[in-house]
Amino acid sequence: MSDKSMGVTRLAGAIGAEVSGLDLREPLAAEQVAALRRIWLEHGVVFLRDQHITPEQFLAFAQTIGTPVEYPFVNGIAGYPYIIEVKKLEHERVNFGGVWHSDTAYLDQPPMATLLLAREVPPHGGDTLFANQVAAYDSLSDGMKRLLGGLRCVNSSDKADTSRTREDRIAEGGRAERRSYEAEHPAVRVHPETGQRALYMNAGHTVRFAGMTEDESAPLLHFLHEHQKKEEFTCRFRWKVGSIALWDNRCTHHYPVNDYHGHRRVMHRITLAGDVPAG
């Protein structure tokens, strides 16, 4: 199967494409995987509809893209340690990961990619926004690019509490051992497959620039966080049961919209092993 047998519909000018023509109930051929990977690298995040698959089939699909890894704070679902449940229940007001971010930037080797599969969705709301960090970098002035080229960011899992994301609040119901993670990464990351440069700080985890205090770092980080989520860099995806998103964690941000209070939303998530970010 070639690219031509897959339907590709762009969601926005900067990021995102829906891909049709794949049925994940059956193993994908090598040509299908290669074609999907090319589309994914081009668009940053790809979406597949109507994939009513078992956890085993979901895991098998993830393994064609990369190597699944366990999430540091939450246990996997029964029998599948690499698949975690991301849910907001009817009585809850705070959602999981509810700020613009890239996944687990506080790890020495953040994940290459994340896959999310919709199991239950609210009757309205619960969309996810994605932002292209290559486009965000490219639009900066030459002076700002030179400045950022010499900076590194300190990222901490503890910041999730102050940013009111749900991942730290649910940790007590997750792994027995509670620990903090901190990692330092370049402010501008070079993508290991495309060679493109992308902004690599995020509002959910970045605390300060290395060698600076939080107060000294705050004005520039504030500017960058606002810049990173400009509408012209984004797309918006509306979930249906059986929808899958596969995003490149090395060059995208995402934001789950928390606009469905009183309703239930349940997703399954797998993260794929990445490398040490290089500048």
- Would you name the residues annotated as active-site residues? 101, 103, 254, 269
What is the per-residue pLDDT for 160? 63
- Burial track 219-232 (b if 16+ CB lie within 10 A, e otherwise): ebbeebbebbbeee
Closest by CA to 131, choosing from 270, 29, 39, 224, is: 224
How far apart CA 262 and CA 279 sit, in angstroms, is: 44
This prediction's pTM = 0.93
User: Residues 42-94: pLDDT tens digits?
Assistant: 999 999 999 999 999 999 999 999 999 999 888 999 999 999 999 999 999 88
Give per-residue burial for 103-122: e unless 16+ CB within 10 Å, then b: bbbbbeebbbbbbbbbbebb
Contact (Cβ atoms closer than 8 angstroms) between residue 64 and residue 48: no
* Residue spans of the chain under pLDDT 50: 1-2, 162-169, 171-173, 176
> How many Cα atoms sit within 13 Å of 198 on the Cβ side?
26
Residue 172: per-residue pLDDT? 42
User: Domains in the chain, start-ordered, CATH in brackets?
Assistant: 3-272 (3.60.130.10)
Distance CA 90, CA 82 (A): 26
Residue 150 burial (CB < 10 Å; 0-12/13-18/19+)? exposed
